[in-house]
Amino acid sequence: MDVACLYIRDFLVALARRDAPSLEGRPVVIGGSPDEHAAVIACSPEAAATGVTVGMTLRRALALCHDAVFLPHQESQSTAEANRVVTLLNRYSPLVEAIAPGHVHFEARGLAQMSGMSEVAFFGDLYQAMRAETGLPISLGVAETVFAAHAVAISDARFAAPGPSSPIPSARWSTARTRTKENAEAEEPGPVLVPTGQDKAYLARLPIEVLPVSPLMHQRLRQFGLERLGQVAKLSFSAMQAQFGLDGARAWNLANGKDNSLIVPGRDELRIDEEMELPAPTALSEPIVVATRVLLQRGLQHPDIRGQSLRRLDWRLGLESGEQISRKFVFREPTNDVPRMLFVARSRIERLQLASAAVSVGVTLSGICSEYGHQANLWPVGPRRQKELVEAVEQLNERAGGPQVFRIVEVQPWSRIPERQLGLAAFGP
């Protein structure tokens, strides 16, 4: 087994339920208050069952699910938790690739042998450690290929796992038997290990929704009566390619256990964090703007960023009640100009309606790169420069004894002969 996939279903909802266990079993919508003109960022399966989808307006979500709990999107917290999951896995594997928050692939080849443990014991311990460290309902799949491990974890996450306080068993070997919701709930949760050489047999029973293709293709496959990967694998390669093109060819290869994907670890992005406590709690925008300016100036003087430009600013405000407000600003062009950055952020800061006084301000600078070059005008625009240009042309004409600079003027724009439409006239005031 070469590859493992750790997957946390509905990552943002899982975070909210971990911090507030009373939300368990209730419909949850994340994105803000229904009064805001914003969209749904994530929703629980209970809310999705009523028709709520990601990208839908929050008002529409409220109309579909009246008893839903609406929560703000704490982006800084979710990003920190997603990075924490990656950091924890880096203790076990040298190659870790973050696909999305709560969805990570990592190299598993030889890890059990290096630790002197069996694969069942090693991945069982890893599963227990990750559950204990994060407090989240994780799913862990291990297989020979990236797609097989991904499909194992995704399909295993479809069935409810016990809470963090429940006893956690060791790993279990997966077989190619059909797994229903009833017998899955009878099994104790744990990592799913696909034995070497059985990727295709395991994939055959999985639903086609695990294929990394568009939802429209999933729908078309079901219209053709194809519900499992085993049915797709039995078709001819040419038939899938003729019907779905490149996506069909890839789906056929994946269904047959053919996957050459590799783990591509992400680069560590340089992020500059600055934070300060306000001299006194305040609900006024001006002290908050001043503090933001100071933090931007301090961050731009960092040795790793000096002389370079930024693409993104993450701004956060800590309130006296313990709540944290965060905003993200992405600049159209990279910049290191504090007034320009503050101009972009000021309007949104001034529009904030704080539930309690602010006590701290923080910024995170990221997306560090070189500044774009800008094309400047040949001559600055203005009457003084225009007068200098006219005097220079007159001196040139005097030296040459006749007009030397001309401009294009319309003569007979209605003419069908191009040569008669435009003409040259001596340049002058």
Q: Over the chain, what HEC string results? A: CCEEEEEECCHHHHHHHHHCHHHCCCCEEECCCCCCCCECCEECHHHHCCCCCCCCEHHHHHHHCCCCEEECCCHHHHHHHHHHHHHHHCCCCCCEEEEECCEEEEECCCHHHHHCCCHHHHHHHHHHHHHHHHCCCEEEEEECCHHHHHHHHHHHHCCCCCCCCCCCCCCEECCCCCCCHHHHHHCCCCCEECCCCCHHHHHCCCEHHHCCCCHHHHHHHHHCCCCEHHHHHHCCHHHHHHHHHHHHHHHHHHHCCCCCCCCCCCCCCCCEEEEEEEEEEECCHHHHHHHHHHHHHHHHCCCCCCCCEEEEEEEEEEECCCCEEEEEEEEEEEECCHHHHHHHHHHHHHCCCCCCCEEEEEEEEECCECCCCCCCCCCCCCHHHHHHHHHHHHHHHHHHCCCCCEEEEECCCCCCCHHHHEEEEECCC
Structure tokens at 341: 């950055």
Is the domain of 84 the same as that of 224? yes
pLDDT reported for residue 378:
62
What pLDDT score was predicted for residue 271? Answer: 86
The residue range of the domain holding 414 is: 383-426
Same domain for 223 and 306? no
Domain-ending residue, one of 341, 366, 391: 366
pLDDT score at 175: 41
CATH number, position 327: 3.30.1490.100
Q: Walk across the sheet containing 310-319 and list its strands.
A: 272-282, 358-366, 310-319, 324-335
pLDDT in tens, the chain (429 residues): 689 999 999 999 999 999 999 999 999 999 988 888 889 999 999 999 999 999 999 999 999 999 999 999 888 889 889 999 999 999 999 899 999 999 999 999 888 888 899 888 999 999 999 999 999 999 999 999 999 999 989 887 664 343 333 333 334 444 433 343 444 444 557 888 888 888 888 899 899 999 989 989 999 999 999 999 999 999 999 999 999 999 999 999 999 989 888 888 876 678 889 999 999 999 898 999 999 999 999 998 888 887 788 889 999 999 998 888 989 998 888 888 899 899 988 888 888 888 899 999 999 998 887 765 555 666 566 777 778 888 888 888 888 888 888 888 888 878 888 888 888 888 876
> In terms of domains, do 139 and 243 share one?
yes
What is the domain-level CATH number for residue 33? 3.40.1170.60
Is 264 within the bounds of a domain? no
- With the C-alpha atoms ordered 201, 183, 217, 265, is the resulting torsion angle positive or negative? negative
In a domain, 373, yes or no: no
Q: Are residues 160 and 238 in the same domain?
A: yes
Distance CA 408, CA 106 (A): 66
Do the beta carbons of residue 314 and residue 366 sit within 8 Å?
yes
* Residue 219 is assigned to a structural domain of this protein: yes
Bridge partner residues of 315 (DSSP): 327, 363
- Whether residue 262 is contained in a domain is answered as no
Q: How, if at all, do strands 42-43 and 28-30 pair?
A: antiparallel
Q: How far is it, in rounded angstroms, from Cα 131 to Cα 138?
A: 7
Q: Do 187 and 322 lie in a common domain? A: no
Closest CA to 191 of 118, 120, 245: 120
Tell whether 374 is covered by a domain. no
Do residues 146 and 233 both lie within one domain?
A: yes
- What pLDDT sits at residue 37? 83
CATH number of the domain bearing residue 149: 3.30.70.270
Is there a single domain that holds both residue 107 and residue 229? yes
Which of 223, 255, 287 is the endpoint of a domain? 255
pLDDT confidence of residue 179: 41
Query: Are 287 and 308 members of one domain?
Result: yes
Residue 375 lies in a domain: no
pLDDT attached to residue 418: 81
Do residues 228 and 118 share a domain?
Answer: yes
Residues 137 and 202 in one domain: yes
Q: What is the pLDDT of residue 167?
A: 34
Bridge partners (DSSP) of residue 327 are 315
In this structure, is residue 350 part of a structural domain?
Answer: yes
* Predicted pLDDT at 226: 92
Contact 352, 325 (CB under 8 A): yes
Residue 213's contacts (CB-CB under 8 Å, 6 or more residues apart) are 244, 247, 250, 251
| Residue 176, domain member (yes or no) | yes
Task: Tell me: do 294 and 208 sit in the same domain.
Answer: no
Last residue of a domain, one of 74, 105, 121: 74
Q: How many domains does the chain have?
A: 4
If asked whether residues 184 and 97 sit together in one domain, one would say yes
| pLDDT at position 379 | 59
**pLDDT on residue 332:** 83
How high is the pLDDT of residue 45? 92
CB 296 within 8 A of CB 338: yes
